[in-house]
Amino acid sequence: LETAGVDVQFNWGLEMAGGLLNVSSVFNYLDYYRDQQTIADPFVESTGTMRSGGQFDYRMLNTVNYLRDNWSLGVRHRFLPSIENFAYANNPNTTVQGAGSYHMLDTFGSYMMSEKVTLRGGIDNLFDLDPEINGRDPGRTTASSSTSPAFYDVIGRRYYVAVELSF
């Protein structure tokens, strides 16, 4: 296995309108990812393909939240760029298609009812986006249900509410 890349994280906070605005961004850049089946085999370049578990060229996760008194609200943005199908690593001329870019938004909030009780909730996949399809081969297969649940939301929009109790 040969791999190299850069991970960068940025956190910033600002007092604003009687509260605190926080911004966090995580950026992962993959310079290269090469692996081989056995020591005698040549290395296969998997960067930008779904081969070897999904080696995206880069990824981003951004979060903005605002906290004031006993409440907070936030939004999270997850981004994945387009990626080639795993077949591309061994055959750049393949007609098998990869997945398009993917933007996912979640929203969340909390309300501290007392020192011992906090109510929190949110909506994941706010716009109810379908997962990206990977593996279509025009004229051969639509691969209409082929996706990668490790990266793309296969459940759809969902809501959650929780009560935290401190003792």
Using a pLDDT cut of 90, give the percent of the chain over it: 83
Q: Is the pLDDT of residue 143 over 90?
A: no
Candidate from 79-83, 87-91, 139-143, 151-155 with smallest mean pLDDT: 139-143
| CA trace torsion 2, 28, 147, 44 (10° rounding) | -20
Judging by beta carbons within 10 Å of its beta carbon (0-12, 13-18, 19+), is residue 101 exposed, middle or buried? exposed
Say if residue 144's pLDDT is above 70. Answer: no
Q: Decide if pLDDT at 112 tops 70.
A: yes
- Determine the pLDDT at residue 142: 65
Question: Maximum distance among all alpha carbons in the chain?
Answer: 64
Q: Is the pLDDT of residue 17 over 70?
A: yes
Task: Please state the pTM of the whole predicted model.
Answer: 0.85
Confidence band of 154 (pLDDT split at 50, 70, 90): very high
Residue whose tokens read 């061994």? 90
Pick the more confident residue, 140 or 124.
Answer: 124
